[in-house]
Amino acid sequence: MRIDSPAAGAVTATAERIRGADILAAVRRAGIATVVSVPDIVTSDGLLWPISRDPSLAHVRVCKEDEGVSICAGLACAGRRALLLIQHTGLLDSVNALRAIAVDYGTPICMIVGLQGLEPDREPPRSASLGVRVVEPLLDVLGIAHARLGARGDEAAIEPAFDRAYRDWMPYAFIVTRPPV
């Protein structure tokens, strides 16, 4: 289900790390004006703190990630685009909500998911952490299209993916493999 090139988001020491400001610019270009979040250490400094200080973005702090799935669904039905910014553990905790609301219903739930605990020298499926290495296969099983954000330039995929999600009413997930700078 990954639709990016195999190299995108690759975990290499040489690739320049993705910039949070570039991710946010791409999110805005996708017409997203609301961010629903639970804090995640991978995206905290590079994304969530800047979002929380950005008056152009409405920011909804939720207690639990499945709430966020439903809030984004309600916003979508009301004609508003939103981003769900969470950690992979929260994605794992929200599988039933994603299965029902995002997949069964076909709802544009657009996610950026921090992959907490990924070793710096490994690809996600080869992580020693079960929680990390199951994320992409789980998204495949659910039928949720996904791509990685790790290296500078990966953000180019955000606007077309989220545009397509809202055009075709389908979910999409970006997996953040390295903390944005």
State which of positions 76-135 bind other proteins (CB under 8 A): 76-80, 82, 96-97, 100-101, 104-106
**Interacting stretch for other proteins, rule CB under 8 A, among 7-15, 62-70, 110-118, 134-142?**
62-70
Picking from 42, 1, 40, 26, the residue whose alpha carbon sits closest to that of residue 137 is 1
Picking from 175, 166, 154, the residue whose alpha carbon sits closest to that of residue 111 is 175
Under a CB-based contact definition with an 8 Å cutoff, are residues 114 and 43 in contact? yes
Q: Is 142 helix (H, G, I), strand (E, B) or coil?
A: helix
Give the tokens for residue 2: 């990954």
Give the residue, chosen from 22, 66, 136, 155, that forms a contact with other proteins under the rule CB under 8 A: 66
Q: State in angstroms the smallest separation of the CB of 13 from other proteins.
A: 40
Q: State in angstroms the smallest separation of the CB of 161 from other proteins.
A: 21
Q: State in angstroms the smallest separation of the CB of 169 from other proteins.
A: 9
Give the residue, chosen from 12, 64, 119, 141, that forms a contact with other proteins under the rule CB under 8 A: 64
Under a CB-based contact definition with an 8 Å cutoff, are residues 159 and 29 in contact? yes
Q: State in angstroms the smallest separation of the CB of 5 from other proteins.
A: 33
Give the residue, chosen from 21, 62, 134, 138, that forms a contact with other proteins under the rule CB under 8 A: 62
Q: State in angstroms the smallest separation of the CB of 58 from other proteins.
A: 7
State which of positions 3-42 bind other proteins (CB under 8 A): 34
- Reported in sequence order, the residue ranges of 121-168 that DSSP labels E, i.e. its strands, are 145-149
Give the tokens for residue 162: 């989220």
Give the tokens for residue 139: 């998204």
- Smaller CB separation from other proteins, 31 or 106: 106
Give the tokens for residue 63: 């207690």
Q: State in angstroms the smallest separation of the CB of 91 from other proteins.
A: 14
Q: Which long-range contacts (CB under 8 A, 24 or more apart) does 49-53 make?
A: 50/20, 50/21, 50/24, 51/24, 51/85
Under a CB-based contact definition with an 8 Å cutoff, are residues 24 and 50 in contact? yes
- Residues in the site for other proteins, rule: CB under 8 A? 34, 58, 60-64, 66-80, 82, 96-97, 100-101, 104-106
